[in-house]
A and B are shown apart, each in its own frame.
Chain A
């Protein structure tokens, strides 16, 4: 009888996740049902005030904007990431190109967001050029709206979307595309019927890697967003630091967590058929091995 060392091996990670993820989440969950103390913090007295405050249209609106911005940004990010990853995977100089994808990580995230402000600001690079060229008389307001937020989210998470797609496209057998073409598929049909189903894993990862952090965006809407692009992360921070209503900040956090989980579960359910067929395949293969 072989000893099962699984629990022992998973102990360090299990402890880490428990202390730094599960426990804090529980604390937030508990705080959301407590009473607000005068100067921040909580009083240990049950209350539903944190949730009652959510039932107003302006909050619902923020939820809607958060989901809207995240979905649009994720869609566009992945849309740009697929051809980029495809191009890199088929290029002779893939290592150099991959390096280019990773280079932005060498600079601090905040500095990169400020760089966008320098580029798109009213007195920024683009406006200056356009004015000098005589295309416009006075500056265009690029920043402090939804579009700026979506643009910077796409910019930030594009590498995270490209890398998993790259790794699955790189493993893809391109003779399958030729086979599809040979059997009568147009280029587009070959792409949708053969390439996409075979890189599903990478596609799913890149969608989740973009969508989850986009939902929790806080710095980007704060720095380049405006009134129309206030996201959940921003009001959590406001309640936590300015208004000092910790139960409310907690209840909003719980809402954000729930939305994220709904998004992920919904997505996994769409992919369920896939997962099941993979599971069945594994089971069948095991059975096959045994029968031999």
Chain B
């Protein structure tokens, strides 16, 4: 593996009274595609700028392969950044933008030409080398920025919301390309984004941040399937939350009593005591919806009866809002084969919703 490992140790950054990053600690492995995910203002960009060297942390240290990075000037760090607005030099052509860092090193003209061509072909931008940034489309600017950042052969590439200025389709396309560029150059990528789909689809691991704090670090699968708290659960996709009181606990499961709804079983991923007030979450796509009471279900399923409040059909799936008791459940049903399915479920129909007990999670516990 090329690239470097980064260790962030107790990094805090204050701007006056405002705490942008609070005591962040984590490690990024060699060659990893690591994402910092969070809503705007959560401190992820500040953290990235600290790694790049544009900001000094108020406290804490960042190590790159065991070496303290903080005292090193930004132009001497083996780290390059791709800015949100690309920050291409408007007075230089595409070729000269990419060649910028090499020109500072007094490298021979032929070598510069060879390198620039190599990196422009890596980002599939062999043409247009004489154009100026103002003549390029958003996607092309993005490619120039990538080539310009990679040509200095950094050990770590920092990406600050690089796709946010592109339209949805192009974003999807560039994301796949970023992933394949990561595979090709093999260096460590630190990717800052507020878009959970981007983070989940390309990252090896994701750190979720909110209000300056790192809330959870894990593989996309881990953070989506077992969110550490209700913020992580709701920030990553849609989910249903329920509050209730624990009235029975065995080795694997807890029984939660929810007012005006009934009793639900939930997988015991945290230690619980009787009478704890808990918040549990269940993802809408994990809930199944049928007109008939499902037969021959093992005990490991929660089944509720309800009425369809709203149906939103969007081609590949339908979103149902099902009223049960005073709760409204979001339920997503994929249309694998719409016509051969059972007769479609319509508004105001009586339905049963049910899910595997293992798919529900406790995200918060308030001890009594």
Q: Could you list which residues of chain A lie within 8 angstroms of chain B, going by C-beta atoms?
A: 173, 175-176, 178-186, 189, 193-194, 197-198, 200, 281, 284-285, 288
Does B290 count as interface, using CB distance less than 8 angstroms? no
* A residues less than 8 Å from B132 (CB atoms): 281
B279 to chain A, nearest CB (A): 41
Q: A281-B132, A284-B135 are in contact. Are A181 and B75 (CB under 8 A)?
A: yes
Could you give, for residues 67-101 of chain B, a 1 whenever the CB lies within 8 Å of some chain A CB and a 0 otherwise?
A: 00000011110011101010111110000000011
CA distance in complex: A193, B91 (Å): 10
In whole Å, how far is B45's beta carbon from the nearest beta carbon of chain A?
Answer: 12
> Which residues on A sit within 8 Å (CB–CB) of B245?
none
Q: Do residues B87 and A176 form an inter-chain contact, with CB atoms below 8 A?
A: yes
Binding site for A on B (CB under 8 A): 52-54, 73-76, 79-81, 83, 85, 87-91, 100-101, 104-105, 131-132, 134-135, 148-149, 152
Residue of B nearest to A176 (CB): B87
List 27 A-B residue pairs with CB atoms under 8 Å apart, sorted by A's residue number: A173-B85, A175-B85, A176-B87, A176-B89, A178-B81, A179-B88, A180-B89, A180-B100, A181-B54, A181-B73, A182-B52, A182-B53, A182-B74, A182-B75, A183-B75, A183-B104, A183-B152, A184-B75, A184-B76, A184-B104, A184-B105, A184-B152, A198-B89, A200-B91, A281-B134, A284-B135, A288-B135
Q: Which residues of B contact A181 (CB under 8 A)?
A: 53-54, 73-75
A281–B105 Cα gap in the complex (Å)? Answer: 29
CA distance A240 to B75 in the complex (A): 61
B89 near A179 with CB under 8 A, answer yes
A32 to B52, CA, bound (A): 66
Closest CB in chain A relative to B325 CB, distance in Å: 53
Nearest chain B residue, comparing its CB with the CB of A187: B75
Note all chain A residues with C-beta closer than 8 A to B131.
284
Task: Note all chain A residues with C-beta closer than 8 A to B149.
Answer: 182-183
| Bound CA–CA A176/B86 (angstroms) | 9
What's the Cα separation between A142 and B148 when bound, in Å? Answer: 54
Majority SS at the chain A contact face: helix
Q: Is the CB of B74 within 8 A of A285?
A: no
Nearest to B101 among chain A residues (CB) is A183
Given A184-B152, A185-B75, A198:B135 Cβ within 8 A: no
B38 to chain A, nearest CB (A): 21
Q: Which residues of B contact A194 (CB under 8 A)?
A: 89
Task: Decide if B104 touches A285 in the complex (CB within 8 Å).
Answer: no
How distant is the Cα of A284 from the Cα of B52 in the complex, in angstroms? Answer: 36
In contact, B90 and A175 (Cβ under 8 angstroms):
no
State the 9 A-B residue pairs at the shortest beta-carbon distance, nearest first: A179-B87, A183-B101, A197-B91, A175-B87, A181-B74, A184-B101, A184-B75, A184-B104, A181-B75
Which residues of A sit under 8 angstroms from B91, Cβ to Cβ? Answer: 197-198, 200
A198 engages B148 (CB within 8 Å): no
What would 14 more interface pairs be, CB under 8 Å, given A175-B83, A198-B90, A198-B91?
Answer: A173-B85, A173-B87, A175-B85, A175-B87, A176-B87, A178-B54, A178-B81, A182-B81, A183-B75, A183-B104, A284-B131, A284-B135, A285-B134, A288-B135
